[in-house]
Amino acid sequence: MPDVTKDQVLAALAKVRGPDLEGDLVSRGMVSDIFISDAKAYFSITVPADRARELEPLRLAAEKAVTAVPGIKGALVTLTADHKASSSPRPAPAPASHGHGHGHGHAPASAGPAGQPRGPAQGGVAAKAGVPGVGAIVAVASGKGGVGKSTTAVNFALGLQANGLRVGILDADIYGPSVPRLLKISGRPEQIDGRLIKPMENYGLKAMSMGFLVDEETAMIWRGPMVQSALLQMLREVAWGELDVLVVDMPPGTGDAQLTMAQQVPLAGAVIVSTPQDLALIDARKAVTMFRKVEIPLLGIVENMSYFLAPDTGKRYDIFGHGGARAEAERIGVPFLGEVPLTMDIRERSDLGTPIVHAEPQSEIAGIYRDIAASVWAQLSQGNRRKAPSIVFD
């Protein structure tokens, strides 16, 4: 069968009526550029910001129309809010409750670790919608790339699991997903009841990544709003089941994806990964500032590639300096979670997709990751959350 073309997808979408049954999605110019890879279609639909929630059936209708096209195996359709098209400046409504409350002016509570409520939202801001069955969502972030954040995130997740917790990992790096290779997972996820996605799994970790949906060499050329919508769909339309912790491997930097997760997801806290040298620490400070600005608790800093151990002699070399992340943690008043050395084992295991915590559970390095995981879980389970200080810009 020949490859499906964009025109075929547009023809199917031209049969989907627009909001209020006026025109169709294509003639009204609501459909973004269409990206097709491995018989799956990816696109967004632009809708007024103040109607985004009520127009969810429109997204489902578009998804159904496209998946009916011969040769299409699936579709990732997202709603992009167009603030200019809004009919009024009022903020988007609070997430709908799944309970039967009648709403008496109280902001809903959001879930904390192991399902414990965090309490009402502060300052009159609606609580962020959680993920059913997931106790705590923890972001692993860095201010820049190249510091080993994804390797740290995977081994941290496995460290949590080794400590007896039920754990999943979400690869939030749309442009450069690493989790499929790090966990040695290939293939495509299945859909359940035509809506939810069944997460992939290896080493007992449930995982979701854009890398499972497109080929490894495919370049994702998406604008910010589409990335934001795809992230939330991968988070909330995946059948995670019951998890104590969902680890989110954040993309490097402080851009749209990071702000989406920080502002729209009830993160229990963030772990910052940095190498010891000053240049990396400068960027790590940016990540710290971002999370504090959006009032996400900082669970601590990990100094990755802290020192190099020569495999032949065991001699230690401080290639990138040493102790910079510890000093930074002390300076800003957050926990220092530990030093992870730069070793051949970590690099080789990562390349092979057999993380060291799984492959060599009795090794000293695996113990370091388990200790980091234990420190983070102690903070989450004891509710030891540090309220972020106010940051004032003159």
Task: Give pLDDT, residue 184.
Answer: 92
Tens digit of pLDDT at every position of the chain (394 positions): 567 888 999 999 999 988 887 889 999 888 877 877 777 888 878 887 677 778 888 888 998 999 999 988 888 787 766 544 333 332 333 333 333 333 333 222 333 333 333 333 333 334 566 788 999 999 998 866 678 889 999 999 999 999 999 999 999 887 778 899 999 998 888 878 767 889 999 999 999 988 887 766 666 666 666 777 778 888 888 999 999 999 999 887 666 677 777 777 888 998 988 887 655 566 667 677 777 777 888 899 898 888 787 777 777 787 776 677 788 888 878 888 988 988 888 888 888 989 999 999 999 999 999 999 999 999 998 764 443 333 332 3
Task: Give pLDDT, residue 161.
Answer: 95
Query: What number of helices (H) and strands (E) belong to the chain?
Result: 11, 16
Q: What is the 3-state secondary structure (H, E, C) of 309-362?
A: ECCCCCCEECECECCHHHHHHHHHCCCEEEEEEECHHHHHHHHHCCCHHHHCCC
Task: Give pLDDT, residue 153.
Answer: 94
Task: Give pLDDT, residue 253.
Answer: 66
Task: Give pLDDT, residue 160.
Answer: 96
pLDDT tens digit sequence for 169-207? 999 887 778 899 999 998 888 878 767 889 999 999 999
How many other CB atoms sit within 10 Å of the CB of residue 373? 28
- Interior/surface letters 272-287, b for 16+ CB within 10 angstroms, e for the rest: bbbbbbeebbebbbeb
CB 334 within 8 A of CB 121: no
Q: Which residue has the tokens 């279609």?
A: 41
The DSSP symbol for 242 reads S
Task: Give pLDDT, residue 281.
Answer: 63
Query: Which residue segments constitute the domains of the chain, with CATH numbers given?
Result: 6-85 (3.30.300.130), 134-381 (3.40.50.300)
Task: Give pLDDT, residue 16.
Answer: 92
Name 214's Cβ contacts closer than 8 Å, sequence gap at least 6.
Answer: 37, 38, 40, 42, 220
pLDDT tens digit sequence for 141-171? 886 667 888 999 999 999 999 999 999 999 9
> Residue 170: left (phi > 0), alpha (psi -120 to 50), or beta?
beta
